[in-house]
Amino acid sequence: MAKKIQDPDFWYSFLLPYVNWHTRIAYRRFEVHGKEHLPKDSAVIFGVNHSNTLMDALVLLAADNIKKVFIARGDIFKNPAVAKILNFLRILPIFRIRNGVAAVRQNDDSLNKAVDVIHDHVDLYLFPEGTHRTKHSLMRMGKGLFHIALDANKQFGEKSPVYIIPTAIEYGDYFRYRSTAMIHFGQPINVTEFIQNTTEENEAIIINQLKDILGEEISKLFTYIPDDEDYDAIWEIVKMKNEKRAGGLFKKMLRNRETVAKVLKFREEKPEEAKDLFERVLAFDKERRRQKISVMSTARKYPLINFLWRLAVLLVGLPYFAASAIVNLPIWLTTSIIKSKLKDKAFSNTVSFGVEFVLFPLVFIIGTILLFCYLPWYWALGGMVLLFFSYRVFVDYCELCRRWISDVRWTFKTRLRKQYESLNLNTLF
């Protein structure tokens, strides 16, 4: 019997903890919520928003130790060698009509394998939007996920109900390495029960109904903003209101959603005032960006105090940072060169992760050997510990430095601060 994609594999199981560890350290904060909603011992398909290229799959993989299979767009499987690697990584292809009629014909094989995956009670993850986009919104969903769900229900729905799990990933920043990531699982959609209770026989209509349900449920799980002409202004308001408030990623998401609801209500009740506010918000944002001021600085009530404590931290950590920068020069230099050539900025975090994943073990091994060759063992051991954390310290120090410089600029930009205060966001929302 041919080996299934979900069957145990020694090398996959051996490498998985290492990959997951690297994924988790790629974020300063990593949270998973809603796992209590997941049905046990059932056929489960996860429908997830797609906003940050390969990092979406890696974040989901690192959420827990449960076996997973993914489905990705078929065009990345064109190269046979790449296709073999993707298959090893438990990724199945789905082709679209743009890939050609011959390619689309291969979908039957992938769909059959996908149904077999969930029949074996292995979690199947899909990004129904079909492509990534760095926005707190959702695009039109494709039909692949729903065809799998309906086929699975026809084959074994009476014995084992088929569920679609709405799932959302929310990032603190789509482009900065060592930001934050949160996974939020929603209430399951019982496909078997839905089909039993519907009088509709047209499969296309049933799929459209399920698409609407899934889209609505996913939109409840993260900071969702309607993708219209006011999206940018609303997102800026949300960031200025909630960017620096503490309390964990989940609570921050809830505050974001509350702010979005208030802004949308304001737009509905006072459209002319809202239009004027949005124009002023975008004008402020343009000037803020031009002067290279972080949105986190804008809500500082006492920017000078924040400036002073950050300066103290930077001075204390400077020797370790300098050493870390020298040691990790190959990593950040390689990362910078590759990023400078990117056509799609959304791949920034994927590049940062990939370069660190490949090069840091080499830096660590070579550095450890040199330490034990030239230092007493107890000094070498201490140096090895410092080396282990060095790249994270380097990245976080750079980020702290960026925010400190931003605070300095914000402290002395009196005109821009008055422009911010004139928005009156705290009173309005």
Q: What is the pLDDT of residues 212-230, one digit of tens each?
A: 999 999 999 999 999 999 9
Residue pLDDT, tens place only, 86-131: 888 899 888 765 665 555 667 778 888 999 999 999 999 999 998 8
Instruction: Decide: residue 221, CB within 10 A, 0-12 exposed, 13-18 middle, 19+ buried.
Output: buried
Query: Residue 167 contacts by C-beta under 8 Å, 6 or more apart in sequence?
Result: 46, 47, 48, 49, 60, 125, 183, 184, 185, 186, 218, 221
End-to-end CA distance of the chain: 62
DSSP 3-state of 27 = strand
pLDDT of residue 124: 96
Q: What is the dihedral of CA 366, 369, 375, 381, to 10 degrees?
A: 100
Which of these ranges, 139-148, 244-253, 254-263, has the smallest mean pLDDT?
244-253
pLDDT of residue 97: 58
Looking at residue 39, the DSSP 8-state letter turns out to be P
CA 190 to chain centre: 26
Distances 261 to 238, 252, 257 between C-alpha atoms, Å? 10, 14, 6
Q: Where are the alpha helices (DSSP H) in 70-220?
A: 80-88, 101-104, 107-119, 144-156, 191-197, 203-219
pLDDT band at 70 (very low <50, low <70, confident <90, very high): very high
| 245, pLDDT greater than 70 | no
Q: pTM of the entire structure?
A: 0.92
Q: Which two tokens stand for residue 1?
A: 């019997």
User: Taking Cα atoms as reference points, which of 209, 43, 53 lies closest to residue 141?
Assistant: 209
pLDDT of residue 1: 61
Mean of per-residue pLDDT scores for the chain: 91
Query: Residue 156 contacts by C-beta under 8 Å, 6 or more apart in sequence?
Result: 43, 119
In percent, the amount of the chain with pLDDT more than 90 equals 75
**Mean pLDDT to the nearest integer, 161-183:** 96
Looking at residue 7, the DSSP 8-state letter turns out to be S
pLDDT of residue 98: 63
Looking at residue 345, the DSSP 8-state letter turns out to be G
Residue pLDDT, tens place only, 289-325: 999 999 988 876 666 777 788 899 999 999 999 999 9
Residue pLDDT, tens place only, 142-152: 898 999 999 99
CA distance 213 to 227: 18
